[in-house]
Structure 1
Amino acid sequence: MEPNQELENLQQQEENELNLGDIIQIVRANWYWFALSVVVCMSAAFVYLQWAPKQYTRTASVLIKDDTKGSGAMSEASAFSDLGMFSMKSSVDNEVLVFQSRQLMQNVVKRLKLDISYTQKRGLRTTELYTQSPVHLEFPDAEPNQQFRLVATAIDEGKVALSDFEADSVDVSDAVTVALNDTVQTPVGRVVVTPTLFYTTAYFGTPVRVTKSDLDETVLHFNRILQVALASKTATIINLTLQDESIQRAEDIVNTLIAIYNEDVINDKNQITVNTSDFINDRLIIIEKELGNVDSHIESFKRENQLTDIVSETGMYLKESSEYSREGLSLENQLTLARYIRSYLVDPSKEAELIPANTGISDSNVESQIGEYNALLLKRDRLVSSSSNRNPVVMSLNSSIQAMKQTIVRSVDNLIVSLNIQIKNVRSREEQNVRRISAVPGQQKQVLSIERQQKIKEELYLYLLNKREENALSQAITESNARIIDPASGSKKPVAPKSMMVMLASLILGCMIPAGVFWMQATMDTKVRTRKDLEGRMTIPFLGEIPSREKKDKNEIVVREGGRDSVSEAFRIVRTNMDFMRVKAKDLKVVMFTSFNPGAGKTFVSMNLAMSFALTKKKVVLVDLDVRKGTLTSHTAGSGKGVTNFLSGKVTDVDEIISRNEFHENLDIIHAGPVPPNPAELLLSDRLETLIAGLKERYDYVILDNVPSGVVADAAIVNRVADLTIYVIRAGLFDRRQLPDLERMYRQEKLRNLCVILNGVNYKRIGYGYGYGYGYGYGYGYGNKE
């Protein structure tokens, strides 16, 4: 593998490693941000808990009597199964959908008036008053889908102020005063205000927000929060659960929902018996009137003709005639009922009504067809109520109903024809018997005829009375499919918001926010911050790292004799590590400082390293080779003569440009001198080698403060005379993406005996560096602050 590829792989591996120690160090260095974030998040969570309405849960259990689920429960009305009223079975799966139906919830909302709510502001939380409101408002002119708001404030024992009216086209804040139990005209229509048991002095001056909501939206809201589910797959128990901010309202909704469901089921089952009862009552009124007329006719006829009992005279004939009459009576009764049923079937006004059942028709086939027709019609009506007439199932049922009705009509027609034939035969035999008693006076014959009519009416009347009692009995014992096992109940502790969960979530969020921010900074930050950013990413020797100075320290030389501060110790370490660089240069006297870009702190490092050597009794000269700017010279009280004077030949003696004892007796300085028009040409001259050779004879160390190598060519030109090149990298300024360029420069040996110093490391806040305030400020392409 090539060296560059190996280095890139090493860099990639180092970047992908997650060092737990680094994470802990970052947290410790920035603990106050984590603390602040946790405090803010937990404060926000506390405010949310004080604002959010508390939610309570109420659950009711209902047993559905469903034979299809194998419950095996005997109906209490099984003793009356011969009446044919309890043959229908319910499915618990269908009942779950019925409980979730919009129509059922709409009836609940209307009955409990849930579209009108009463709320009160208590602290940050808005509390639902429901039945605890001091006043009750009615809106006679309001439409079901109308929405508006207003505020009701109890003034005293007899008056209430209505204000802050809000509607789609109304926004009025003026108050309207109304007396209790009175009606007042307001911007939202007439309002009737009545007090409740909670109308006390405690509510005087306390505003109550009254909200009239859209009926349909209210129904959808409560349908959405209602949960209907089977207790288990093998049971027929349904659990109804509702979560609401008012305990009483949740209980009322669930209990009322069950009550309305039971009412609908009972009404549905009683529909057949109700229609039958109406039919019997109508027939009883007619027959009672006819029977009275027959009785009166017999009475008047016998009185006018002075007739007595002549049964003994015609006993034998009358007995036979009686048998024929009884048979004819029964057949005529059947014929009358059959004709009435047919007229009922063909009557267009009764097209959607149930056919009277159990009327006593002797043909069992017709009775069973009527029962099936009524059951199918009821099923169709239930589907229509929950869907529409265009439902494919409804349309199919309509076709079946019409076909069945035609079948019943044909069956009744056949029955009528059969009864007519039978009656004709009976009448024929009866006429033969009547001719046998032709000797009986005509008056007696008429009496018999009238009595026969009387008996017909009387038997029919008694029959209908009996059927009416049976029908009333079946209606009285009708029961619902549902039996309440547990009414709506639950814990008084709120289920939401969960205080511990919210506070725990806020604590976690408070820790995650700064962690995420620091992670983003670490991910997006491409600057060199610490020694770890260099090690493993390059093979250049690393001399050491210089910590950042305090901002209040304005001195350029911070190394002091006997100093125990971190900066002094860092320069001692660098000074010691320089001895290991003698592998490539035995005579390590000339040390050149450069950097990749301005602002790295070369002048600061070179000055303090020179001072560190001077304190060890070494003779050191610090040369300012930044002939373009003279950064080192700007930080000292240098004279006008310097390097440029010597390189240009204006000064021939090296001693003339040396400034002595400015900082220390063992540390001398050579300033840059006047800015030349041709700095690169001067540095290329042989006099630079002469200057360095003369300095090496006089000093133990010659330290060259040079310009950035990545800005101008001066550093590469001067590097020919250096024994050691120290590359200064500024923490927080040098981009890690430039490390491959620096590594390539080292491998190609463009700079002699290259090594690296990391300057401006901040140990208190890992990953962040501080500037020093030094600088280049050239007008020809680069700026620096050192």
Structure 2
Amino acid sequence: MEDSVNKPYAFEEEEHLDLKQEILRYLRYWPWFVLSLVIALISAYLYVRFSPRIYQTYSKIKILDKSDGLELPTAAFIFKRSNINLENETEILTSYIMMDRVVRELNLNTSFYEEGTVRTTQQESLPFEFEQLIHPDSILKSSSYKLKIKNKGLEIISGDDEATVSFDGFSTYSKLHELPFEVDLRAEGSKSDMIGKTFIITFRPIENVALSLKSAISVEPIGKQSDLLKISTKGESKALSENIVNTLMEVFDNDGINDRQLISKRTLDFIDDRFVYLAEELDSIESGRQDFKQRNNLVDIKVDAELGLEQRTKSEEEAFQIESQLALSRLLKQSLTENTESDLLPANIGINNGGINELIANYNTAVLNRDKFLNSGGANNPIVKQAIAEIEDLKANINRSLNNYVNQLETSSQQLENRNQRFSGKVAQIPEKEKLLRAIDRQQHIKESLYLLLLQKREEAAINLAITEPSIKIVEHALTGNAPISPKSRIVYLGAFVGGLLVPFGLLYLIFLLDTKLHSKEDVTKINPKVPVIGEIPDMKKDKGFVFDDPNARSVLAESFRILSSNVNYILPAEDDGKGKVIYCTSTIKGEGKTYVSINLSLALSSINKKVLLVGADLRNPQIHVHIEEGKDTPGLSNYLHDDSFNWKEMLVSGFEQHPRHRILLSGTIPPNPAHLLTNGRFTKLIEEAKEEFDYIIVDTAPTILVTDTMLISQLADATVYIARADFTEKNLLKFSKDLSESGKLKNMAYVINSVGASKSYGYSYNYGYNYGYGNS
């Protein structure tokens, strides 16, 4: 039930935050903030003053798209996206190979620094002649040398073994040494400017420098749809950073150019090698073609074919003519055999033999003469007989001539037939020879075409090698900003200012977070909002007065207790019975100031002409006697409670001269059984009697969490003032008082916050703790 009642208040506690109160809470510690700000700003000044100046260098390049050729401006061409993979180009740019080439190109494994009074700054190069004797690849470990320029010469100190080498002049060439470099200041015009300066020369392995450079170079695209890349780096030396970026772009461009030139070189080498084989193959094919023509007596297949057909046709015509002559000769011979004496032979029948044609003409003439002589002279006429004899002779001559002619024609016919067969064989072999020659020509044509193609490709490769286009277009060469990016004074000072505020704020926040003490009225109302807070007593130092002994005082202490006395009247029950009011003053533990509040509350009420009785009911650890210079064993309440014959009125003391209506009943001798005495009925009797004579009875009771004394007599109080001390009382102890109020064990309870504004205990020599000497009753 109690939990359910408290939850709304807990919720209300979380929901409401008094910002002004929180700000004032931190402002109480303003010296901390001032001190922290001063320290932070001084530290920022020293950091800005002595930190090395770091500058940012950047450049921009455009990656050229090698896939773009002489294409028609089609829609696909116009709206196509670039084929460049910027991530691949970025990886190549930041690869170890590129960094290694840059390091070697600029000899970055040798670094130079100038040592100043405050800081050491990196230099691009030394301001005098420097010659490195050691090869970069022979540097296997890091080493450094300190070069001091003095009035009379040079002094070089090795960083490895602290070995010192001195030179009388301003040159290391003056004597033999084992240093990995030579320096010479003799050529410098004003060596006086160099005197007193110290330079540091460091050597590092190429691998280490390349890896460091790889981590220092940043490459990123400019926009999502852009082919531009931004290359940036940071360094102390502007010139060195710009050289690094420019060299990286040059190395990257040359790498792409060399890749394409390597392709062209390999193409040329391949073509040159093929030319040797092709030349040999072409020579072999041409020699074979020549041999083939010579073996086959070929000049040209077409011409040879036409000539062969022509010869064959002519030979066939000759054979036809011979056959015709043979036929005519045989017919003539047959006519000669079958003819009678009076028959004439046919003349001019086509025989191409002039002798036979002449004999035939003579024969026909002789036959005509015979017939003429026969008609005129008769058969026995000698002239007729002579003509007949002549005819027979001519006939015999014709027959012999025809036989010879036939034999001649037959021989010619046989020769023509043989020649025709030879011509036919030649013509029949022409397709095969043409096929073989065509195969030879085809091989020759293929090799010639390949030779010409390779020759063309060789010229193209030679042209590409001579005019290889670059890999990148440099949009901006390396540029370095005038203002350093580190340290940025504005940001450093702003950070110092913010940090100077946040550090004490964080510490205070942590302190407040871990702080379990209550400090103000708000802390009480958050835990127990049902019980009112009727007074806040400020922290008063000893030198400002501790007790309200002057009724006319106008001090802060006096006014705070006057306010408290006024507020107490509001919580007292409104009973007009003429009797005095009983007010208990108690607390949770010792040291919270209940005796202090009891005394001053009673004096505040007395200052308004009220009769007030202050009762010291804390029988275990009485403290009132300390403030009125009375002895600890002065008879008082304990004596009255123990001795029935003891008159308490006779033991009243007046501790304050300016408060004549104020009386005090001290605690008396410390008894062994306070709880028994308080419950024997005499304390009730005392209260009842005191109410008849006094307007207010202020009872200083024992702490509630330690003993039960207060709860045993709590029913006699008209109001209970519960004291909590700022910066002293634990917040969780208020929960105990809350339980006492809600359970009714303490009547009409109200809180008073003591030592408000205190940063520590106000000076009482009380020991903090729960077990402060009370014994259990």
| Alignment-mate amino acid for residue 583 of structure 1 | P
CA offset at residue 153 of structure 1?
0.8
CA offset at residue 651 of structure 1?
5.1
Say whether the 8 Å CA contact 1:134–1:198 is kept in structure 2.
no
**Aligned twin of 1:714:** 709
CA distance in 2, matches of 1:427, 1:619: 159
| Alignment-mate amino acid for residue 155 of structure 2 | A
Q: 1:115 aligns with which of 109, 113, 123?
A: 109
Matched, 1:39 2:13: no
CA distance in 2, matches of 1:203, 1:598: 77
Question: Measured at CA, do residues 18 and 236 of structure 1 come closer, stay the same or move farther in structure 2, by a change above 3 Å?
Answer: same
Say whether the 8 Å CA contact 1:546–1:760 is kept in structure 2.
yes
Deviations 1:718-765 (A, max 9, x none): 334333221111112222223332222112211233222111111xx7
Deviations 1:670-725 (A, max 9, x none): 22222222222222222223333333333222222121011112222333433322
CA offset at residue 253 of structure 1?
0.9
**Aligned twin of 2:119:** 125
Matched, 1:645 2:639: yes
CA offset at residue 533 of structure 1?
1.1
Matched, 1:211 2:205: no
Question: Measured at CA, do residues 699 and 90 of structure 1 come closer, stay the same or move farther in structure 2, by a change above 3 Å?
Answer: closer
Matched, 1:665 2:660: yes
Structure 2 unpaired stretches of 5+ = 74-82, 300-453
Say whether the 8 Å CA contact 1:589–1:700 is kept in structure 2.
yes
Deviations 1:149-183 (A, max 9, x none): 221111247x32112x33xxx44264544751428
Deviations 1:290-316 (A, max 9, x none): xxxxxxxxxxxxxxxxxxxxxxxxxxx
Matched, 1:505 2:495: yes
Say whether the 8 Å CA contact 1:660–1:667 is kept in structure 2.
yes
| Alignment-mate amino acid for residue 237 of structure 2 | S
CA distance in 1, matches of 2:549, 2:10: 35
CA distance in 2, matches of 1:29, 1:198: 66
Question: Measured at CA, do residues 505 and 432 of structure 1 come closer, stay the same or move farther in structure 2, by a change above 3 Å?
Answer: same
Say whether the 8 Å CA contact 2:41–2:493 is kept in structure 1.
yes
Q: What is the DSSP-based 3-state SS (H/G/I as helix, E as strand, rest coil) of the residue aligned with 2:141?
A: coil
CA offset at residue 225 of structure 1?
2.3
CA offset at residue 532 of structure 1?
0.9
| Alignment-mate amino acid for residue 710 of structure 1 | I
Matched, 1:248 2:209: no
Q: 1:225 aligns with which of 204, 213, 216?
A: 216
**Aligned twin of 1:595:** 587
Matched, 1:427 2:291: yes
**Worse-superposed segment, 773-782 or 721-730:** 773-782
**Aligned twin of 1:518:** 508
**Aligned twin of 1:761:** 756
Q: Report the count of equivalent residues.
A: 604
Matched, 1:150 2:145: yes
**Worse-superposed segment, 523-532 or 262-271:** 262-271
**Aligned twin of 1:541:** 532
Q: What is the DSSP-based 3-state SS (H/G/I as helix, E as strand, rest coil) of the residue aligned with 1:775?
A: coil
Q: TM-score, normalised by structure 2?
A: 0.69
**Worse-superposed segment, 474-483 or 597-606:** 474-483
Say whether the 8 Å CA contact 1:776–1:782 is kept in structure 2.
no
Say whether the 8 Å CA contact 2:548–2:604 is kept in structure 1.
no
Say whether the 8 Å CA contact 1:645–1:651 is kept in structure 2.
no
State the identity %.
Answer: 25
Q: What is the DSSP-based 3-state SS (H/G/I as helix, E as strand, rest coil) of the residue aligned with 1:172?
A: coil
- Listed as ranges, the matches of 1:272-283 within 5 Å are none
**Aligned twin of 1:336:** none
Say whether the 8 Å CA contact 2:540–2:762 is kept in structure 1.
no
CA distance in 1, matches of 2:102, 2:85: 23
- Listed as ranges, the matches of 1:356-435 within 5 Å are 356-357=271-272, 360=275, 420=284, 422-430=286-294
**Aligned twin of 2:448:** none
CA distance in 1, matches of 2:236, 2:494: 23
Deviations 1:120-162 (A, max 9, x none): 34454331122254563635277334112221111247x3211
- Listed as ranges, the matches of 1:482-493 within 5 Å are 482-493=472-483
CA distance in 2, matches of 1:53, 1:691: 85
CA RMSD after TM alignment:
3.8
**Aligned twin of 1:53:** 52
CA distance in 2, matches of 1:111, 1:778: 77
Structure 1 unpaired stretches of 5+ = 75-88, 278-353, 362-411, 436-463
**Aligned twin of 1:604:** 596
**Aligned twin of 2:230:** 239
Q: What is the DSSP-based 3-state SS (H/G/I as helix, E as strand, rest coil) of the residue aligned with 1:728?
A: strand
Say whether the 8 Å CA contact 2:590–2:769 is kept in structure 1.
no
Matched, 1:480 2:470: yes
Matched, 1:723 2:718: yes
Q: TM-score, normalised by structure 1?
A: 0.69
**Aligned twin of 1:578:** 568
Q: What is the DSSP-based 3-state SS (H/G/I as helix, E as strand, rest coil) of the residue aligned with 1:592?
A: strand
Say whether the 8 Å CA contact 2:590–2:768 is kept in structure 1.
no
- Listed as ranges, the matches of 1:296-375 within 5 Å are 355-357=270-272, 360=275
CA distance in 2, matches of 1:7, 1:266: 82
| Alignment-mate amino acid for residue 759 of structure 1 | N
Say whether the 8 Å CA contact 1:607–1:622 is kept in structure 2.
yes
CA offset at residue 604 of structure 1?
0.7
CA distance in 2, matches of 1:71, 1:40: 69
CA offset at residue 608 of structure 1?
0.7
Q: What is the DSSP-based 3-state SS (H/G/I as helix, E as strand, rest coil) of the residue aligned with 2:534?
A: strand
CA offset at residue 8 of structure 1?
3.5
Q: What is the DSSP-based 3-state SS (H/G/I as helix, E as strand, rest coil) of the residue aligned with 1:45?
A: helix
Q: What is the DSSP-based 3-state SS (H/G/I as helix, E as strand, rest coil) of the residue aligned with 2:569?
A: helix
Q: Looking at CA atoms only, which structure, 1 or 2, has the larger radius of gyration? A: 2
CA distance in 1, matches of 2:84, 2:524: 79
Question: Measured at CA, do residues 542 and 260 of structure 1 come closer, stay the same or move farther in structure 2, by a change above 3 Å?
Answer: closer
CA offset at residue 617 of structure 1?
1.3
Question: Measured at CA, do residues 184 and 107 of structure 1 come closer, stay the same or move farther in structure 2, by a change above 3 Å?
Answer: farther
